[in-house]
């Protein structure tokens, strides 16, 4: 074997596993989160369990997943602006702890999967068609306390 062919073969064999690995990794998923709180510290009782749950599935913020977090500080005008900003970033999924932010996300997109937490009756407020088959791009966890009162 000639010298150049040998160097090309060894160089290709060295680089090939890295190229294959890069293809399998693909791009890093981006998650948009819209909070009604002022900052991460105020949102800690929602944010920290979310980070822990993601980590249990191997998603580490800044390494294997990118979190685009927006804090509206309970200012109604900011909900729609931040929702539009997250949609324009073309995030892979949107998350909201319910309340006004989820309605802003609902108005901003009908295609990006959106997950809510803590909406008491998503059917009554027109976020879902039914509890068993929510339809659309919204889904989440509900607190059906209204039915047991």
Give the separation between CA 85 and CA 62, rounded to whole angstroms. Answer: 20
82-87: average pLDDT: 98
pLDDT (tens digit per residue) in 111-137: 999 998 888 888 888 888 888 888 889
Give the separation between CA 82 and CA 86, rounded to whole angstroms. Answer: 6
E strands in 56-120: 66-71, 93-96, 114-119
Q: Which 8-state DSSP code applies to residue 111?
A: S
β-bridge pairing 93-96 and 138-142: unpaired
Give the separation between CA 73 and CA 108, rounded to whole angstroms. Answer: 19
Q: Which domains does the chain have, with CATH numbers?
A: 28-148 (3.40.50.2300)
Q: What confidence category does residue 89 fall into, taking pLDDT thresholds of 50, 70 and 90?
A: very high
Q: Greater confidence, 31 or 118?
A: 31
Locate tokens 């900003």: which residue?
85
Give the separation between CA 127 and CA 120, rounded to whole angstroms. Answer: 11
The pLDDT of residue 36 is: 92
β-bridge pairing 30-35 and 114-119: unpaired
Give the separation between CA 83 and CA 19, rounded to whole angstroms. Answer: 36
């Amino acid at each position: 074997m000639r010298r150049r062919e040998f160097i090309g073969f060894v160089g290709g064999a060295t680089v090939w596993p890295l190229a294959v690995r890069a293809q399998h990794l693909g791009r890093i998923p981006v998650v948009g989160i819209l909070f009604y709180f002022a900052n991460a510290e105020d949102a800690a009782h929602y944010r920290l369990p979310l980070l822990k749950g993601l980590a249990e599935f191997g998603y580490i913020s800044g390494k294997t997943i990118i979190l685009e977090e927006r804090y509206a500080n309970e200012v109604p005008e900011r909900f729609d602006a931040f929702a539009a900003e997250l949609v324009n970033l073309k995030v892979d999924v949107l998350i909201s702890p319910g309340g006004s932010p989820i309605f802003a996300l609902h108005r901003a997109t009908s295609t990006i999967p959106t997950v809510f937490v803590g909406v008491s009756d998503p059917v009554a407020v027109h976020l879902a068609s039914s509890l068993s088959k929510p339809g659309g791009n919204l889904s989440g966890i509900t607190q059906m306390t209204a039915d047991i009162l």
